Amino acid sequence: MTLEKLQPAGSVASDGMSAKAELTGQTVVVIGASSGIGLETARRARAEGANVILTGRNPERLQRAASELGALSTAAFDATDPAPLERFFRDLPTTIDHVMVTAGRPYYGRIVDMDFAQARRALDDHLLLVLQVARNAADKVRPGGTLLFMGGTGGRRPGVGLGIASTITAALPALTANLALELAPVRVNLIAAGFVDTPLSASLLGDQLENRRNQLRATLPIRRVVGPADVAALAVHIMTNTALTGATYDIDGGQQFVAA
């Protein structure tokens, strides 16, 4: 694990900040911040005046994100590995305001074909990661701050190859609600996304990406593709709206209601 000090928050260009900066003086930790939803959330939080602490596995990608955003610090480690995760939170020099977890990727595969090591790993990577973050972050986040996790809406409909994804999809809202009670007054919430146009989606779809975008534009009730900035805006809202805890927020452009 590397922990590098970068620029202080004050160095952000003031013209990069929104007119009504809602996170001024707050510190936001993003676990999985070098790409996609995490990177966009860090960017948005920064534009709202926050200091950001960024993590991810690949140090070069992380460094690129940190330089662009003027991050307070970075730490490169695998969030599913309990020891460095615990060390990361233990070594945080100050109380933090919010933690957003975007590490991970969906698991697809027929459950009947899966060996148990694979199944255990997939469940660990998703459910135990939430528990590990909750346990380690609990006394580092100030009262009223948030823990924010990522789930999905796609797994609500059963499908061949979606067994693990569906199980995790069903479990995360329950885990979130229970953690919200146990960790109060720290707030705990879940964002459930449908297709989001990120590097992860691009890597999963390969040369089918443009077809998928076109299909979504044609079928989604919102008639456009959901992007990481949409999710980032929701994430920052959840951080700043202190009435929100224990809840799951769907952001899928209505995808779960149509055969998309």
Q: Which of 33, 83, 77 is nearest to 53 (CA)?
A: 33
For residues 208 and 202, the answer to whether their CB atoms sit within 8 Å is no
Residue 159 in contact with ligand NAP, rule: CB under 6 A: no
For residues 193 and 231, the answer to whether their CB atoms sit within 8 Å is yes
Binding residues among 89-148 for ligand NAP as defined by CB under 6 A: 102-106
Residue 196 in contact with ligand NAP, rule: CB under 6 A: yes
Span interacting with ligand NAP, options 114-122, 158-166, 173-181, 196-204, rule CB under 6 A:
196-204
- Of 50, 52, 79, 238, the one binding ligand NAP (CB under 6 A) is 79
User: Minimum distance between the CB of residue 66 and ligand NAP, rounded to whole angstroms?
Assistant: 11
Residues 6+ apart with CB under 8 A from 45: 23, 28, 30, 52, 98, 232, 235, 236, 239
37/186 with CB nearer ligand NAP: 37
User: Minimum distance between the CB of residue 136 and ligand NAP, rounded to whole angstroms?
Assistant: 14
Residue 69 in contact with ligand NAP, rule: CB under 6 A: no
Strands of the chain, DSSP E: 2-5, 27-31, 51-56, 73-76, 96-101, 141-152, 187-193, 248-251
Binding residues among 19-38 for ligand NAP as defined by CB under 6 A: 32-38
User: Minimum distance between the CB of residue 6 and ligand NAP, rounded to whole angstroms?
Assistant: 16
User: Minimum distance between the CB of residue 99 and ligand NAP, rounded to whole angstroms?
Assistant: 13
38/163 with CB nearer ligand NAP: 38
Q: What is the CA radius of gyration of the chain?
A: 18
152/253 with CB nearer ligand NAP: 152
Residue 255 in contact with ligand NAP, rule: CB under 6 A: no
Query: What is 133-181 written as a DSSP string?
Result: HHHHHTTTEEEEEEEEEEEESGGGS--TT-HHHHHHHHHHHHHHHHHHH
Count of chain residues binding ligand NAP (CB under 6 A) = 29
Residues 6+ apart with CB under 8 A from 143: 185, 186
The contact set with ligand NAP (CB under 6 A) reads 32-38, 55-58, 61, 78-80, 102-106, 150, 152, 193, 195-196, 198-201
